[in-house]
Amino acid sequence: MTQPIFLIGARGCGKTTIGQALTRACHFQFVDTDQVLQQRSGLSVADIVAAEGWQGFRARETETLMSVTAPGTVIATGGGIILAPVNREFMRQSGVVIYLNAPVPVLAGRLEAFPEADQRPTLTGKPISEEVADVLAQRDALYRETAHYVVDASTAPERVVTQILDVLHLATVS
Ligand SMILES: Nc1ncnc2c1ncn2[C@@H]1O[C@H](COP(=O)(O)OP(=O)(O)OP(=O)(O)O)[C@@H](O)[C@H]1O
Ligand SMILES: O=C(O)C1=C[C@@H](O)[C@@H](O)[C@H](O)C1
Ligand SMILES: [Mg+2]
C-alpha cells in the first residue's frame, strides 16, 4: 500500500508524535502540515494568526495540505484541518484517514505539559481544559465523518502505532 496516510485529531492527540513513529515502522516519508507551513512562510502559527487572522492561516493550511500530499507519505495535519469541507473531501479521496481519538483530560494534560504556544495560539481565549472540551465538542463529529478509521490515541505511542498498522494491515519491519 502506498496511499498517503492522513492523521487527524485534536491538538495534543499525537498526530506529529505518532506520525513520526509510524513513518519509521512502515518506511513512509513523514510530513507535517504545521511544520511545512511554518518553514515555508518563515512565520509561526501565532505570527500568522496575529497578522492575517485564523482565516489567513486556514487558507495557507489548505494550500499546504494539497502540496505535500504524495504516495508513500504519512501526513500529520493541524487540529483544525477538518474545518474546511474541501480539506475533508480531499483527504478522504486521496488516501487513508485515521482519527487519533483521546478524551479531554488526556489532551488537556499533554497540552498543559507542552503548550508550544507559538504553534498553538488560543482558539477561544479560555483556559486549556475548557478550550479542549469546547473545541472537541465542536469538531468530534467532523473528525469521525472524515476518518476511515478511529484509533485510541490515549495509550503509549508504540500501541497507537500498532493499532494503526493493524487497521492498515501493514507489517512492522524493524
Ligand atoms: N500516545 C502518547 N502518549 C503520551 N504522550 C503523547 C502521546 N502522543 C503525543 N504525546 C505528547 O503530547 C504532546 C502533543 O503531541 P503532538 O505534538 O504530537 O500532538 P499533535 O496532535 O501533533 O498536536 P497539534 O494539533 O497541536 O499539532 C507532545 O508533548 C507529545 O510528546
Ligand atoms: O486545532 C487547531 O485549530 C490548530 C491546531 C494546530 O495543529 C495548528 O494547526 C493551529 O494551532 C490550529
Ligand atoms: Mg502536530
pLDDT tens for residues 121-157? 999 999 999 999 999 999 999 999 999 999 999 999 9
How many structural domains compose the chain?
1
- pTM of the entire structure? 0.97
Residue to mutate (ligand 1; options 61, 110, 128, 136; most atoms within 8 A of CB): 110
Angle among Cα 98, 166, 113 to the nearest 5 degrees reads 55
163: number of Cβ within 10 Å: 19
Q: What is the pLDDT of the chain when averaged over all its residues? A: 96
41 within a domain of the structure (yes/no): yes
Q: According to DSSP H, which parts of 70-127 are helical?
A: 85-94, 104-113
Indicate the SS3 state at residue 100. strand
Closest residue by Cα to atom 9, ligand 1, is 14
CB 83 less than 6 A from any atom of ligand 2: no
In a domain, 11, yes or no: yes
CATH code assigned at 22: 3.40.50.300
**Containing structural domain, residue 18:** 3-168
Q: What is the mean pLDDT of residues 102-116?
A: 97
| 3 pLDDT more than 90 | yes
